[in-house]
Amino acid sequence: MFFLITDSVLAEELHVTDGDSLRIDGERIRLWGMDAPELGQKCQKLGVSYDCGITAREALISLIGNSQVKCEKVNTDRYRRTVARCSVDGADLGGLCDGPGRLGARLRALQQRPLCR
């Protein structure tokens, strides 16, 4: 089960929409500091084409697992999505492309770095 705590309110529903976006209780959330491939975006690995956007979404789902997700609003983007710093187990989801932290280690363990362009 996924959770969001913001202003001391527990979310009822969290859905990972792609590798850098969530929908929490119907609100669209863009992860601050993250730029993942878009759904439908094609990538190549060992000469084989695949949908790296789906792979990125699956990686984010796997990273979150059953952990609690906490988000803090930073601003609103041009698409009227809330841009937020979100963390799992105290580790910033948006920072996992930059450093070796716990989430980066989980990505390496999964042999997946599709969240990072």
Please indicate, yes or no, if residue 28 is contained in any of the structural domains: yes
d(CA 98, CA 43): 21
- Helix H or strand E segment including 88: strand 82-88
Question: First CA to last CA across the chain, in angstroms?
Answer: 28
pLDDT in tens, 87-97: 888 888 887 66
Domain residue limits at 81 = 3-109
Contacts of 43 (CB under 8 A, 6+ apart): 37, 49, 50, 51, 52, 55, 114
Least reliable range by pLDDT among 27-41, 57-71, 100-114: 100-114
Please indicate, yes or no, if residue 10 is contained in any of the structural domains: yes
Q: What is the CATH number of the domain that holds 61?
A: 2.40.50
Please indicate, yes or no, if residue 116 is contained in any of the structural domains: no
Is 0.85 topped by the overall pTM? Answer: no
Please indicate, yes or no, if residue 44 is contained in any of the structural domains: yes
The pLDDT score that the predictor gives to residue 101 is 47
